[in-house]
Amino acid sequence: MSDARSTTLTPRQLNFAIIALAMGGFGIGTTEFAIMGLLQEMVGDLNISIPEGGHVISAYAIGVVIGAPLLAALGARLPRKGMALGLMVLFTVGNLSSYFAADYGWLLFSRFMSGLPHGAYFGIAAVIAASLSAPTRRAHAVAMVMLGLSIANVIGVPFATWLGQMFGWRTMFLLVGVIGLVTIWMISRSVPHQKVLQNASIRRELGALQRGQVWMTLLIGTVGFGGFFAVYSYISPTMTEVTGLPEATLPFVVALYGLGMVTGNIVGGRLADISVMGTIYWVMGVIAVALVAFSFAVQWAPTALLFVFLVGAIGAMLIPSLQVRLLDVSPDAPSLASSLNHAALNIANALGAFLGGAVIAAGWGYTAPALVGAVLAVVGLAVALVSGRMDRRSAAVRPAENVPVS
């Protein structure tokens, strides 16, 4: 039995450990999305253009995509708790550096540095949470860690945006830096030490990239979740231009979306504990139907608000199952495989926003991104079905529900 499984925690200790790991996700979600609401304040203060301000957002996303596999592989020989603490230190330093950034170049580099630990942190946090939990509760534990990211959209992002508007856009980074310091303290106190896995190495972690099922799972997330972001990226103009809601209601709309994500994340964790692939099949199909319905429902305010919540909830249900699926198909390299999920989701963010913007620019209207998202969800479902068939045809991949995290 590995050290991870031999670590016995009381339910109270386990909850505190998961809350500590989720706090890091709360800080990451806050810094990732709050800057979008402070874009105009930032570009005005730095005397740069809006597109240049957008590059600051892109720098973070690039950091996520690069940092997820790189840091996860380099940290293969580190104890999991030490790895989580190191990543959170890098995240905190990056945000405090953003607060003190004197010019555009400094800020650009600081945001890139802040993004580097994003995917690797969620990856190692998911591995720790799953390893500390009973096999039948792994997905629920992973979902609780991911819950920090969802709650950030409900509480952290609105509060950080308000704080930046009242006291200057830089204070958002100071707030996140403080959250990072609190997370470091909580992890150091609550998460038990876990020894380095025997035979752990960079080569072993990179071996995950040789598995077809790892790439298939990443493709499911990249394409299938792109539909979620195709809608989310343009939710504000859709609500004001199509539904006819006043701009003053947009914070409520975004918060409603966030509440849907919180709900979906919890439900998705429960469902994934029953069947990982079954949850992926079901959620991908429902996303496609919900996005088609969304394109019609946004014509009326009551149904528009209902579907804002539903789309957020259904989309978030997919995250725990994808995370656990990656742990299952690469049990000997869980950190890298798990961290790649967040690199895939950031690519999905870019893909959904790009395709949604393309159909709007083509004159198809603000409801068109939802239809594009539905198509992406269908493609994601097709990839999932192929992946499931590969499972059934190959004895090399054990049933997802019975494979413990080593």
pLDDT digits (tens, 9 = 90+) for 50-92: 678 878 887 888 898 899 888 888 887 788 899 999 999 999 9
How far apart are alpha carbons 400 and 330 in whole angstroms? Answer: 11
CATH of residue 113:
1.20.1250.20
* Residue 285 located in a structural domain: yes
Question: Does one domain contain both 393 and 348?
Answer: yes
Answer for the pair 311, 228: CB distance below 8 angstroms, yes or no. Answer: yes
* Residue 403 located in a structural domain: no
Question: Does one domain contain both 265 and 386?
Answer: yes
Q: Which residues constitute the domain of residue 196?
A: 1-200
Question: Does one domain contain both 365 and 242?
Answer: yes
Question: Does one domain contain both 316 and 170?
Answer: no
Q: Which amino acid is at 100?
A: F
* Residue 402 located in a structural domain: no
Question: Does one domain contain both 185 and 277?
Answer: no
Residue 351 is predicted with a pLDDT of 84
Q: In the listed set 150, 181, 200, which residue is the last one of a domain according to the structure?
A: 200
Exposed e or buried b per residue across 91-129, where buried means at least 16 C-beta atoms within 10 angstroms of its C-beta: bbbbbbbbbebeebeebbbbbbbbbbbbbbbbbbbbbbb
* Residue 406 located in a structural domain: no
Question: Does one domain contain both 195 and 264?
Answer: no
CA 168 from centre of chain: 27
* Residue 328 located in a structural domain: yes
Task: Of 343, 352, 402, 398, give the one whose Cα is nearest residue 375.
Answer: 352
Task: Of 155, 145, 124, 117, give the one whose Cα is nearest residue 17.
Answer: 145
Question: Does one domain contain both 195 and 211?
Answer: no
pLDDT in tens, 296-335: 999 999 999 999 999 999 999 998 999 889 888 887 777 7
Phi, psi of 310 (to 5 degrees): -65, -45
Question: Does one domain contain both 218 and 193?
Answer: no
pTM here is 0.78
Mean pLDDT split into 10-residue runs, the chain, 406 residues: 54 92 94 80 85 81 87 82 95 96 93 93 90 86 88 87 89 96 96 72 68 90 85 82 86 85 92 94 95 95 95 92 88 76 82 84 90 94 95 62 47
Structurally, the chain folds into a number of domains equal to: 2
Place of tokens 């690519």: 347
Question: Does one domain contain both 54 and 132?
Answer: yes
Question: Does one domain contain both 141 and 253?
Answer: no
Question: Does one domain contain both 163 and 222?
Answer: no
Distance spanning both ends of the chain, measured CA to CA = 8
Place of tokens 């079901």: 282
